[in-house]
Amino acid sequence: MTYLVSPSNHWLGYHMVEHLLELGFEVHGQENEQDSDELTLFFGRNSSYGPFNPEKKYKIAYILGDYNDKLTANTVHTYVLCKDSSKNQGKRHTCIHVPILFGEWMQMDKDGMYWNNSYVRFDSILFQKESIYIKDFIGELVDWNTKGIASREDLYVRSFRSEENPKLKLENSIYLRDNIPIEQKVEKVLQHYQENKIQYDNLYGNL
């Protein structure tokens, strides 16, 4: 089985590709030309990773950036990371609504991160209640595929730390528990940031 990930050079796409490769799958990536290719260099020597092939039929595609019909024309099912205002693209698509995802290689500084063009401090109530660690999210997402959970047209993912939204249908909502305290995850990400500051600056420039 070959998965398609777009954009694979975005920090979200990087984590998606990395996880799928670790599971032993073949992965094709489509890069966003406006972003640096620094993260995809990590996969350059992996024989299971290759570029997007418009002639190939993919069983599953993960679109973690702007949606493009041409990318998913030959895909059996597509999972699109959506903003809350996004509309679903059809029956072969699952629109996944998430609050805040954080993790290594995201655009950040020592005090906070950028999400949907907004700066969110790590010590803010919003981050403390709504954030989900990227590896927790991706691990669950791939697992949902095997269980058929993620085949719904809309799926709302929330942290157990967040307040329950009565407007969301229970059958379309999934709440993720923290296996370790969020403070430890943030500390791990901050350590990665400090140890790889030059690469972060290459990706995003000095904040």
139-173 pLDDT, tens digit per residue, is 988 887 766 655 677 888 889 888 766 555 556 77
Rg (CA), the chain: 17
Q: List the CATH number of the domain containing 63.
A: 3.40.50.720
Question: Per mean pLDDT, which range of 11-25, 57-71, 192-206 is the poorest?
Answer: 57-71
Domain contains 69: yes
Q: Cβ(122)–Cβ(129) under 8 Å?
A: no
Match 């702007």 to its residue by tokens. 66
pLDDT at 138 over 60: yes
CB within 8 Å of 123: residues ≥ 6 apart:
111
Model confidence band, residue 206 (pLDDT cutoffs 50, 70, 90): low
Angle ∠(112,117,122) on CA atoms, nearest 5: 15
Asked if residue 126 lies in contact with residue 100, where contact means CB atoms within 8 angstroms, the answer is yes
Region for residue 75 given its phi and psi (left: phi exceeds 0; alpha: psi -120 to 50; beta: otherwise): beta
Instruction: Indicate the residue type of 144.
Output: W
Say how many domains are in the chain.
1
107 in a structural domain: no
Give strand pairing partners of 113: 108, 120
In a domain, 47, yes or no: yes
- Domain carrying residue 162: 2-101+133-179
Answer whether residue 65 is part of any domain: yes
Domain assignment present for residue 205? The answer is no
For the beta carbon of residue 52, count every other beta carbon within 10 angstroms. Answer: 18
Q: With respect to residue 200, please indicate whether it lies within any of the assigned structural domains.
A: no
Whose structure tokens read 């901050």? Answer: 190
Please give the share of the chain, as a percent, with pLDDT higher than 90: 56
Flag whether 82 is in a domain: yes
* pLDDT tens digits, 96-131: 988 899 999 999 999 999 999 999 999 999 999 999
Question: ∠ at Cα 165 (151, 114), nearest 5°?
Answer: 80
Does 185 reside within a domain?
A: no
